[in-house]
Amino acid sequence: MTGPSDDFDGRSESGPDDAELSRRFAQFSATSAPRAPLYAALSVGISRDPALHGLLATAPPTQRMPVLLFAAVHRLLLDEPGHPLASWYPNLTVDHRAPSDRALLPTFSAFVAERRDELVRILHRRTTQTNEVGRCALLLPAFGMLAAEVGPLAHLDVGASGGLNLLLDRYRYEYAPRSANGIAAAVTVVGEPSPVVIRTETTGDVPFPATMPTVGTRCGIDRTPVDVTDDGEARWLEACVWPDQADRFHRLVEAIGIAREHPPELLAGDAVGSLAPAVERIARAGHPVVTNSWVLNYLTSAERVAYLAELERLGTAGDLSWVYAEAPALIPELPNEPDPVDPHRTVLSMVRWRNGERRVDHLASCHPHGFWIQWRGGSTSER
């Protein structure tokens, strides 16, 4: 996807007015409080200060969301970890100051005012982009099932960002059953020792692979792939992680280090047009497995329909597997079976085409970042 040009004079295109930008920060404060108390506290003050929330008017209309401003500030702060503002960021300071500290907003405001021009440039040309390696813990059981069925796999990740999820077999996993009656069950460990350790709470009979599945080759497709060997691009991925979630931040840094030693192949392209040639190429090294996680909600309905039609065409022509972790409530085009408790939950599903027939297995409900997985293992079969 081509972003805005770098030749920008600070004038905004039509979009939300001041009152709407203020409302967005006020709303974000309420919704983010449980997971991001720092951003929640800041959002209250930003919503009341036009000099702060008005900065978002310099971003493209579709990107004027609070998380973009926070990511832009975080990006600059990563280069200045000794700045007083960093003392409130849990990922940058062990003994961080509480968000309730009255000095937080004035310190934040001063940091922003001193770097306004640079922030405007970032807001104009960047979009928030994540590469959550915790989702690999969701994909791994499905990969184990497929490897037991067909042998070596060839992994194609659609919406790959920096390609970190393509390195699934280079991470270590700790699956901890949810304790019953206060009695902790044994943790299942999969993978060799690694700087990246992903811990996931489990419910149900998750089919953990006895050994790490063999991935013969791997490739990613993204409209704007992130080159994590570039310091600036890597820093932007890090900046998009909420600082309150320090474990995710540090895990991402370690995953980027692994990707720099073992860079995955990334292709610039769209989900539909690039799919067939990529599947054809990787299939020479193993059974092709297409994955996507929290990607399809960024496509239009027409694009999603075309994507599913292309998968169907490829699967009918030759054996293919597709594993996805998406929210069915946001994507009605999927072969859906929403979570029975909450339809907005993320669902892990696997679609297999064998000899021209399609089988859909709705495997689990899960946290979108892989913090927990509730195994179901039910299935439907389709022709």
Predicted local confidence at residue 182, as pLDDT: 64
Taking residues 43-47, report their average pLDDT: 98
**pLDDT classification of 337: cutoffs 50, 70, 90:** confident
Which residue, chain included where needed, has tokens 């890597």?
Answer: 234
| Calpha distance 218→159 (Å, rounded) | 13
- Helix axes of 37-47 and 18-32: crossing angle, nearest 10 degrees: 160
**How many CB atoms are closer than 10 A to CB 82?**
7
Tens of pLDDT, residue by residue over 286-295, are 999 999 999 9
Percent of the chain clearing pLDDT 90 (strictly above): 85
Predicted local confidence at residue 194, as pLDDT: 98
| Calpha distance 344→326 (Å, rounded) | 10
Predicted local confidence at residue 12, as pLDDT: 43
DSSP lists the bridge partners of residue 199 as 174
Which residue, chain included where needed, has tokens 């909600």?
Answer: 297
Predicted local confidence at residue 15, as pLDDT: 58
Residue 345: φ, ψ to 5°: -70, 155
Pairing of strands 215-222, 197-203: unpaired
Predicted local confidence at residue 249, as pLDDT: 97
Residue 48: φ, ψ to 5°: -100, 0
Domains in the chain (CATH in brackets) are 18-125 (no CATH), 133-382 (3.40.50)
| Calpha distance 11→349 (Å, rounded) | 45
- Least Cα distance to 92 among 235, 190, 305 occurs for 235
- The first and second tokens of residue 311, run together, are 């998968």
The SS3 assignment for 34 reads: coil
The pLDDT of residue 245 is above 70: yes
Sheet holding 197-203, edge to edge: 188-190, 172-177, 197-203, 372-382, 357-366, 346-354, 320-326, 287-293, 153-158, 215-222, 265-268
The SS3 assignment for 173 reads: strand
Tens of pLDDT, residue by residue over 185-210, are 899 999 999 999 999 999 999 999 99
- Following DSSP, what letter does each residue of 143-170 receive, concatenated? HHHHHHHHSSEEEEEET-TTSGGGGGGG
Residues 321, 146 contacting (CB under 8 angstroms) = yes
The pLDDT of residue 3 is above 50: no
What predicted TM-score, i.e. pTM, was given to this entire model? 0.89
Predicted local confidence at residue 340, as pLDDT: 77
- Following DSSP, what letter does each residue of 321-379 receive, concatenated? EEEEEE-GGG-TTS-----SS-TTSEEEEEEEEETTEEEEEEEEEE-TTSSEEEEEEEE
Predicted local confidence at residue 129, as pLDDT: 86
Tens of pLDDT, residue by residue over 162-175, are 999 999 999 999 99
**pLDDT classification of 137: cutoffs 50, 70, 90:** very high
| Calpha distance 88→104 (Å, rounded) | 7
Predicted local confidence at residue 46, as pLDDT: 98
Residues 31-63 as b/e (b if ≥16 CB within 10 A, e otherwise) read ebeeebbbbbbbbbbbbeeeebbebbbbbbeeb
Angle at 263 between CA 249 and CA 245, to 5 degrees: 5
Taking residues 265-284, report their average pLDDT: 96
**94 burial level (CB within 10 Å; 0-12, 13-18, 19+):** exposed
Taking residues 254-273, report their average pLDDT: 96
**How many CB atoms are closer than 10 A to CB 230?**
12
| Residues 6+ positions from 65 with CB-CB distance below 8 Å | 24, 56, 128
